[in-house]
Every structure is written in structure tokens, then in C-alpha cells.
């Protein structure tokens, strides 16, 4: 997948921690796919949920076709068609049907236009998903529709719908404090030690004049962990092979649209192992794979490399050119440094993180904890010196 960084996004990457959030149901997103709805219908549902006033006894929304069109740049007529489709399939009802008809005093721009029928939302998103990070910025859903495309086997309509539904499920399964991103049981892949090579750094290297060991790793063949989220989020696709193909395409489109990004997390213990997985804990972000997201989250890989250079001069000669740029043939190799004798207690997993997370207390606190863990590991690597 080719990663694109849009220069117009500069300064719009960092998400605010005080923006309000809204809620919707992944069950309803799934039902849109199950009923052969479109991405327009899914986006319209998100926008309508974004206009809910949670102080009402029922989930009345002040948003309508105009809000949908403004937020997504789909045409007003298409927005009306999506509203009609959502009403036909009982995703929304008119206020008078729900018993929340506006009084004459409320007949203004804040009156309830529709009522969301699902009363049990289970996933939250930042309002910045609908509004953008700052005034005048391109709205994220507009960018999503511009960037998301199909391929020879998957139509653009299918690609957009799959991506929006998958995005909802990934957001639901995200917890920065507990997992450093999306639950690794939903989607992750393991990294393992590289094979021995006469010309390259060995899989394990005891650093000179220290009690620290550097472990070099690469991505293992893909496990079946991801199939859980594939089947749950995209289970409306009956053919298993088509479902899997559309999952990978949807994930690529979410990364290209900058709604999801991939990181490597260093864990103490193994959250997917059989030996006390609930005791495993994330320690730091080792690396951020998506170039644009490197402006979002700190990582420790560069500090690990510098620590290795200070202890082992041949490391730089083997794996880097004279300008300090890694040999392209070695792409996919990563490293961590821990106390010798403890290296088998650590695990590195590729995991996903979602953008436009809700700025509620648990999420903001979790992101703060993740950042503190990573910055503390950076300092630990910076303090490693020979002697």
C-alpha cells in the first residue's frame, strides 16, 4: 500500500482532547451492510448520530439532509435518499412517531428532526470526525470519500461501506491504557527473531560493556487473529474468500484515508499467549508504520538504534549507509533492547490505532499513559552508554 501525506493536513493531524463526542451502534452499522445499504447510508447514520442530544429520553437528532451533505459532500438529493432508506429500515423514525415531537418554542435550527431507534450505542467517536480538527480544515468524511476506491474485484461502493463498518468495530475495540490501541485479540500480528546471517546483526546481541541485549525481529507469517474482527464486522459478506479480500482492502483504505494506522507495540508478557495473558502489559510504542501518523505518536525505535550505535560500531556499518539511512534490503527489521536474560519475557505485536477517538476521560487518560510509557522508554534508551 502506498502511503500518501497530504500537505494540507499539516497542522491538522493532532486531535484535540476536549472536543465533544457522539455515540452509535456497531450492530446498526453491521445491519446497514446486511441490508445491502451503501456507504452514503452508513455515513448518513453517523452524521445523524452526531446530532443527538443525549439529555432527551429518546435519542433525537437535530441533524438532517443538509448536515449530511455538508459533512460528507454527498449531494443533498443523495442525503435525502439515504434518510429515506434509513427510515424505511427503521434506523430512524420521525419525532412524532417516537413521542418526542418539538413544541412550537423549539421550531428552530435545534429542533429534533429524527429519532435514532437504537437506544444502546456501544461505540463513541469524536465530533472532529464530522467537523474536522480545526475550522476551515477538510472534513474527515469528505477526505474519506475522496480517497477510498475499489479495485478490479471490489467496487468503490463496497469498499467505502466495508471501510466505514470496519472502522466502527475497530473504534469499539480500542483501549490505549490496556492494549496500546485496538485489542490485539481483534487484530494483531506477531514479530519474531530474525534468522542468523553472516553479513547482518545477529538475532540477539549482547551490547559491549553493558548488561543489555539487543533483539532484532521481523514480522511473522500472518496469524489467524484478525479473522475474529473480519467475521464480526464484515459477516454480512456471505463468501468467506470475498469477505477476507474485502477486509484487507477496507483496512488499506482506512489507512490511506488516515482514519486508522499501524504501530508496533512492545509488551512485557504475551497478551495472546497461554501463560497468564491477562498479566501482560504494553510498555512502549516501538515504531509507527504509517508515515503521516509519526506526527501523532512518539516511538522508541530511533533511540534503540542510537543506543546500539554507541555500543556496537559495526551495527551501523552493517545495516546503515554513510548517511545513517537503513539499507532498503533490510526493511522490516526492528529492534528492542532489554536486560540480558529477560528477553524471552517480551513480545512485539503489530497493532492498529484509530483516529478521531472520543475525548472522554478513559480514552484521554489512556493516551496519556501510553505516551508516558513510550517517553520513559525513550529516556531509558538515551541513558544507555558503554561503561
Which of the residue ranges 66-75, 252-261, 324-333 would you say has the lowest mean pLDDT? 324-333
Task: At 94, list the grid cell.
Answer: 420521525
Q: How far is CA 310 from the centre of its chain?
A: 35
| Cβ atoms within 10 Å of 6's Cβ, excluding its own | 13
DSSP-based three-state secondary structure for 152: coil
Q: Could you tell me the residue ranges of all domains in the chain?
A: 15-147, 185-224+262-382
Q: Rounded mean pLDDT of 346-375?
A: 94
Q: Between residues 284 and 1, which one has the greater pLDDT?
A: 284
Q: CB neighbours (10 Å) of residue 10?
A: 10
Say which range, 41-55, 82-96, 164-178, 320-334, has the weakest mean pLDDT: 320-334
Average pLDDT of span 11-32? 81
Please answer whether residues 231 and 321 qualify as being in contact, where contact means their C-beta atoms are separated by less than 8 angstroms: no
Lowest pLDDT segment from 122-136, 241-255, 334-348: 122-136
Amino acid at each position: 500500500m502506498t502511503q500518501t501525506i497530504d500537505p494540507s493536513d499539516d497542522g491538522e493531524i493532532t486531535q484535540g482532547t476536549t472536543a465533544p463526542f457522539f455515540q452509535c451502534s456497531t450492530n446498526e452499522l453491521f445491519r446497514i451492510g446486511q441490508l445491502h445499504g451503501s456507504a452514503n447510508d452508513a455515513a448518513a447514520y453517523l452524521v445523524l448520530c452526531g446530532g443527538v442530544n443525549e439529555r432527551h429520553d429518546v435519542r433525537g437528532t437535530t441533524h438532517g439532509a443538509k448536515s449530511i451533505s455538508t459533512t460528507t459532500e454527498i449531494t443533498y438529493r443523495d442525503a435525502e435518499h439515504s434518510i429515506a432508506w434509513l427510515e424505511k429500515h427503521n434506523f430512524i423514525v420521525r419525532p412524532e412517531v417516537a413521542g418526542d415531537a418539538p413544541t412550537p418554542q423549539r421550531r428552530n435550527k435545534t429542533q429534533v428532526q429524527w429519532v435514532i431507534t437504537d437506544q444502546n450505542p456501544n461505540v463513541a467517536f469524536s465530533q472532529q470526525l464530522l467537523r474536522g480538527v480545526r475550522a476551515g480544515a477538510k472534513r474527515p468524511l469528505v477526505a474519506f470519500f475522496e480517497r477510498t476506491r475499489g479495485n478490479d474485484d471490489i467496487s468503490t461502493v463496497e469498499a467505502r461501506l466495508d471501510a466505514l463498518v470496519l472502522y466502527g468495530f475497530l473504534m469499539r475495540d480500542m483501549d490505549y491504557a490496556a492494549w496500546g490501541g485496538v485489542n490485539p485479540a481483534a487484530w494483531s500480528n506477531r514479530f519474531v527473531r530474525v534468522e542468523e546471517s553472516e553479513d547482518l546483526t545477529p538475532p540477539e546481541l549482547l551490547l559491549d560493556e553493558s548488561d543489555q541485549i539487543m533483539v532484532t525481529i521481523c514480522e511473522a507469517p500472518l496469524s489467524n487473529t484478525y479473522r475474529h474482527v473480519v467475521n464480526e464486522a464484515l459477516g454480512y459478506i456471505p463468501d468467506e474468500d470475498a469477505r477476507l479480500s474485502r477486509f484487507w482492502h477496507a483496512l488499506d483504505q482506512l489507512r490511506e484515508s488516515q482514519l486508522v494506522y499501524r504501530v508496533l507495540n512492545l509488551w512485557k508478557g504475551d497478551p495472546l499467549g497461554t501463560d497468564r495473558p491477562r498479566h501482560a502489559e504494553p510498555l512502549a510504542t516501538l515504531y509507527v508504520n504509517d508515515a503521516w501518523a509519526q506526527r501523532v505518536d512518539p516511538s522508541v525505535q530511533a533511540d534503540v538504534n542510537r543506543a546500539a550505535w554507541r555500543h556496537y560500531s559495526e551495527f551501523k556499518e552493517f545495516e546503515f549507509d554513510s548517511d545513517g539511512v537503513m539499507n532498503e534490503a533490510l526493511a522490516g527489521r526492528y529492534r528492542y533492547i532489554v536486560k540480558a536474560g529477560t528477553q524471552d519475557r517480551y513480545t512485539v505485536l503489530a497493532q492498529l490505532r484509530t483516529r478521531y477517538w472520543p475525548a472522554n476521560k478513559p480514552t484521554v487518560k489512556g493516551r496519556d499513559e501510553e505516551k508516558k510509557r513510550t517517553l520513559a522508554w525513550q529516556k531509558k534508551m538515551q541513558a544507555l552508554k558503554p561503561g
